[in-house]
Amino acid sequence: MNELHHLILAHGHATARSMVSCGERHLVDAAAAVLAVEREELGISYSGFALTSLPHKRIPDEQVWEKVGHRLTLTVTPGRLPAKDGRTVSLGVPYGSYARLITIYLQTQAIRTSNRRVELGRSMNAFLERLGLKIGGNTYERVRDQARRIAACNLVFSWQREDGRADFVKDNFVTQGAFHIDFTAPDPNQPRLWEDEVVLGEHFYNQLLAHPVPILEQALRIIGNNSVAIDTYIWLAYRLHCLTKPTFVRWPALAHQFGSGYSRARDFKRRFTEALRLALAVYPDAHVEFREEGITLHPSRPPILERAG
């Protein structure tokens, strides 16, 4: 448990806020929110997303996204979906925090129900609340856009096997259920979802079953507007509880996994440190030390002890 959590437990949320700089008060708020969780809710992410990730910002709609992690590469190819007139339209690669929240929600529900068919429900507002997102017209449009991108895209996870040969898993994230929202619903405050359910790709689902990463669902809701913090939190959840001894990771290695679009190393270090501190605020049991040349990861308890049944 880091200094912020000890500060909150010793002095309370309000007093702890007054004891830190203005720039750190959002970290105190995040730490206090996770400490206040009474009933932990299990979330799930595929381990591949702990080593690679979707883009944080929009890329050209026709562009293929490739992210190389430690012995693992994610390639996302944009796809096409039918429009209202029956013709298909091109959709770009999913990106940002909304794409991450949607995909984690679908993975979590699939594991909870032991079924790659995931029920969504007809109320868009209820769906947004389950994702921890604010309800409003702009949110509807952004969720709709990211959901359709997720439904259309093709994923390839490729890696090096122990014997040196390359292997891969190729699939669509979603193989059925096209993510359309009816904004002409009788009740404008309850826009309906396009489908009652979507179906995850069979190969992706099997990999998810074999390699799930348990995370605290409430933690993602707290940091849900920061896509880098989400990726960092999932990475910590994957790495820390598997360690048997302290492990030092240098900034260039972190930049290789988490950095993109930074022309200067110091810009990456500053932005990643901000995201890492936010991820640590909602992961009280994480033990991470900041060093001049990188960070030291220490063996830590997972963010949630409950396992999917």
Angle, vertex CA 169, rays to CA 166 and CA 174, nearest 5:
160
Torsion of CA 290, 296, 297, 303, to 10 degrees: -10
Interatomic CA distance for residues 184 and 256, integer angstroms: 45
Give me the pLDDT at residue 171, please.
87
Q: Please check whether residue 92 is in contact with residue 62, taking contact to mean a CB–CB distance below 8 angstroms.
A: yes
Give me the pLDDT at residue 88, please.
86
Burial annotation 203-231 (CB, 10 A radius, 16+ → b, else e): bbbebbeeebbbbbbbbbbbbbebbbbbb
Q: Please check whether residue 208 is in contact with residue 274, taking contact to mean a CB–CB distance below 8 angstroms.
A: no
User: SS3 sequence, the chain?
Assistant: CCHHHHHHHHHCHHHHHHCCCHHHHHHHHHHHHHHCCCCCCEEEEECHHHHCCCCCCCCCCCCCEEEECCCEEEEEECCEEECCCCCEEECCCCCHHHHHHHHHHHHHHHHHHCCCEEECCCEHHHHHHHHCCCCCHHHHHHHHHHHHHHHHCEEEEEEECCCCCEEEEEEECEEECCCCEECCCCCCCCCEECCCEEEECHHHHHHHHHCEEEEEHHHHHHCCCCHHHHHHHHHHHHHHHHCCCCEEEEHHHHHHHHCCCCCCHHHHHHHHHHHHHHHHHCCCCCCEEEECCEEEECCCCCCCCCCCC
Q: Please check whether residue 83 is in contact with residue 72, taking contact to mean a CB–CB distance below 8 angstroms.
A: no
Give me the pLDDT at residue 188, please.
52
Burial annotation 97-128 (CB, 10 A radius, 16+ → b, else e): bbbbbbbbbbbbbbbeeeebebebeebbbebb
User: 10-residue block means of pLDDT along the chain (309 residues)?
Assistant: 89 95 95 95 94 94 90 91 81 95 93 90 70 79 89 89 76 73 47 66 93 95 94 97 95 85 77 95 96 96 72
Interatomic CA distance for residues 111 and 304, integer angstroms: 15
Give me the pLDDT at residue 169, please.
81
Give me the pLDDT at residue 49, please.
94
Give me the pLDDT at residue 184, please.
39
Give me the pLDDT at residue 135, please.
77
Give me the pLDDT at residue 132, please.
80
Beta bridge partners of 70: none
Give me the pLDDT at residue 69, please.
81
User: And the tokens for 38?
Assistant: 């009474």
